[in-house]
């Protein structure tokens, strides 16, 4: 760290601390917007107001499939994008001196499940013993808010970034990544990007890719009293799922060929995340539909892996007397996400290591993730190193999701120092 940053590092830390109660209150309020897929718009309005109050230029636009579907990294969707708005708050330096930076977080959250399994209502954030609870608190509203409060801290000590800083609040990270893709399509570029997903203060070095696939299985309905005359679509789906489980273990057994994930016990997870089937208790089910989420290794070819999944399903069906003549239908409306390995990022990584060490008193550790993030868009399709680095969270996508507030404070301080050094500082 150099010049104005080294001189002001302690004051920046104090400013993060001084603003922190307000940061927690703001994060809690953001958790209160149930920004489930297709319902992100009011949370995005809230972010747009906050960016405007901070003096940022606000760009809010509707994400449209037709703008994106020809681009690499696009994932197909079947839902309406009527409420699909991205928001970017931009600080543009009058005469930029440093390097530019994107801070990117996603506003969307995953479904919360039955509320009676939560200790407190999922969309009413609660603070308890140093953790903030609520759906999205960890994944990743706290991280998104870190970006805004890192900038606030710099302003609190009389400075602003000397280069361009873009804070992006994007939709659709949990299902397609089309929100981050839309930021690229709209022209946002920078010399580096930080994505404060809940990495527990580690740096994402590699991440798996993700394929979502929907499989429709047909059956032959019959009265349950003569079930032998029909063919049960739900039971047939179970046979396909069993074949997919075998394939999952086959892929995991290949892990030594994929250096970034070889050290993990079970890097590849398939998940049957949704299943609906049948029509009537006394009718043999005529149809069953299930959704598969499959991970692929960071260095995998996504087309080849998709084909393997399809072949697995087709082969399992071919051996079945009914499915052999009525093959299951396969559709894609969700992630077709390539894996990502952080490369060509020596400069931002060295700086992040220095900032992390100053704040945490420990070396920054790298970590290979077994899920995907929006970092891939920056790295793979725009040549912008995408650094996944954020606070510590527990039970993301689970009941009683929460984020550790002390880690949120430290990550905010680390990002503030990073911005100060990377972008440079101008007096306000
Ligand atoms: Zn996330």
Burial class (CB within 10 angstroms; exposed 0-12, middle 13-18, buried 19+) of 197: buried
269 and 322 assigned to the same domain: yes
Rounded to the nearest whole angstrom, what is the distance from the C-alpha of residue 221 to the centroid of ligand 1? 41
pTM, 2 dp: 0.97
15 and 54 assigned to the same domain: yes
Burial class (CB within 10 angstroms; exposed 0-12, middle 13-18, buried 19+) of 290: buried
181 and 240 assigned to the same domain: no
197 and 226 assigned to the same domain: no
The answer to whether 336 touches 306, Cβ cutoff 8 Å, is yes
14 and 60 assigned to the same domain: yes
Rounded to the nearest whole angstrom, what is the distance from the C-alpha of residue 165 to the centroid of ligand 1? 21
Q: Please tell me the total count of domains within the chain.
A: 2
Rounded to the nearest whole angstrom, what is the distance from the C-alpha of residue 197 to the centroid of ligand 1? 5
Chain CA centroid to CA 78, Å: 19
Which domain, by its residues, includes 233?
A: 209-337
Q: What is the pLDDT of residue 5?
A: 73
Q: What is the pLDDT of residue 8?
A: 87
Rounded to the nearest whole angstrom, what is the distance from the C-alpha of residue 183 to the centroid of ligand 1? 17
Q: What is the pLDDT of residue 7?
A: 79
Rounded to the nearest whole angstrom, what is the distance from the C-alpha of residue 194 to the centroid of ligand 1? 13
Rounded to the nearest whole angstrom, what is the distance from the C-alpha of residue 340 to the centroid of ligand 1? 15
Q: How many CB atoms lie within 10 A of CB 350?
A: 11
226 and 197 assigned to the same domain: no
161 and 229 assigned to the same domain: no
For residue 121 the two structure tokens come to 């209502």
Which residues make beta-bridge pairs with 404? 131
Q: What is the pLDDT of residue 319?
A: 85
Q: Give the CATH number for residue 126.
A: 3.40.630.10
Rounded to the nearest whole angstrom, what is the distance from the C-alpha of residue 320 to the centroid of ligand 1? 39
284 and 322 assigned to the same domain: yes
Task: Please report, in tens digits, the pLDDT of each residue of the chain (428 residues total).
Answer: 566 677 789 999 999 999 999 999 999 999 999 999 999 999 999 999 999 999 999 999 999 999 999 999 999 999 999 999 999 999 999 999 999 999 999 999 999 999 999 999 999 999 999 999 999 999 999 999 999 999 999 999 999 999 999 999 999 999 999 999 999 999 999 999 999 999 999 999 999 999 999 999 999 999 999 999 999 999 999 999 999 999 999 999 999 999 999 999 999 999 999 999 999 999 999 999 999 999 999 999 999 999 999 999 999 999 888 999 999 999 999 999 999 999 999 999 999 999 999 999 999 999 999 999 999 999 999 999 999 999 999 999 999 999 999 999 999 999 999 999 999 999 99
Rounded to the nearest whole angstrom, what is the distance from the C-alpha of residue 324 to the centroid of ligand 1? 39
Q: What is the pLDDT of residue 4?
A: 63
Rounded to the nearest whole angstrom, what is the distance from the C-alpha of residue 198 to the centroid of ligand 1? 7
């Amino acid at each position: 760290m150099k010049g104005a940053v080294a001189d002001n590092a302690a004051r920046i830390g104090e400013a993060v601390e001084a603003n922190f109660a307000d940061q927690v209150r703001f994060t809690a309020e953001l958790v209160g917007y149930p920004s489930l897929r297709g319902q992100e718009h009011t949370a995005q309005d809230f972010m747009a107001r906050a960016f405007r109050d901070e003096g940022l230029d606000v760009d809010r636009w509707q994400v449209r499939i037709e703008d994106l579907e020809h681009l690499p990294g696009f994932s197909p969707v079947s839902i309406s994008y009527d409420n699909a708005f991205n928001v970017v708050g931009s600080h543009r330096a009058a005469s930029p001196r440093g390097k530019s930076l994107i801070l990117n977080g996603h506003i969307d959250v995953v479904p919360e499940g039955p509320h009676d399994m939560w200790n407190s209502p999922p969309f009413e954030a609660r603070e308890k013993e140093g953790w903030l609870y609520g759906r999205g608190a960890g994944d990743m509203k706290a991280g998104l808010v870190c970006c805004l409060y890192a900038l606030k801290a710099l302003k609190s000590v009389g400075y602003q970034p000397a280069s361009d800083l873009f804070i992006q609040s994007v939709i659709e990270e949990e299902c397609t990544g089309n929100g981050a893709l839309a930021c690229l399509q709209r022209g946002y570029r920078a010399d580096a990007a930080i994505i404060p997903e809940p990495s527990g203060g580690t740096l994402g070095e590699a991440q798996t890719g993700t394929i979502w696939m929907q499989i429709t299985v047909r059956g032959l309905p019959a009265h349950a009293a003569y079930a032998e005359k029909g063919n049960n679509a739900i039971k047939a789906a179970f046979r396909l799922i069993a074949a997919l489980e075998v394939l999952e273990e086959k892929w995991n057994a290949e892990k030594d060929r994929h250096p970034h994930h070889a050290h993990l016990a079970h890097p590849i997870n398939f998940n049957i995340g949704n299943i609906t089937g049948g029509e009537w208790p006394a009718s043999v089910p005529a149809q069953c539909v299930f959704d598969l989420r499959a991970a692929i290794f960071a260095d995998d070819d996504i087309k080849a892996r998709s084909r393997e999944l399809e072949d697995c399903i087709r082969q399992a069906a071919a051996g079945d007397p009914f499915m052999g003549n009525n093959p299951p239908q396969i559709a894609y409306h969700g992630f077709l996400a390539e894996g990502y390995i952080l490369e060509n990022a020596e400069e931002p990584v060295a700086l992040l290591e220095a900032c992390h060490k100053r704040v945490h008193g420990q070396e920054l550790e790298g970590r290979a993730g077994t899920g995907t993030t929006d970092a891939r868009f920056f790295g793979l399709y725009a040549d912008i190193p995408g650094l996944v680095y954020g606070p510590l969270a527990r039970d993301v996508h689970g009941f009683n999701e929460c984020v550790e507030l002390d880690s949120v404070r430290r990550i905010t301080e680390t990002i503030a120092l990073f911005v100060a050094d990377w972008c440079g500082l101008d007096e306000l």
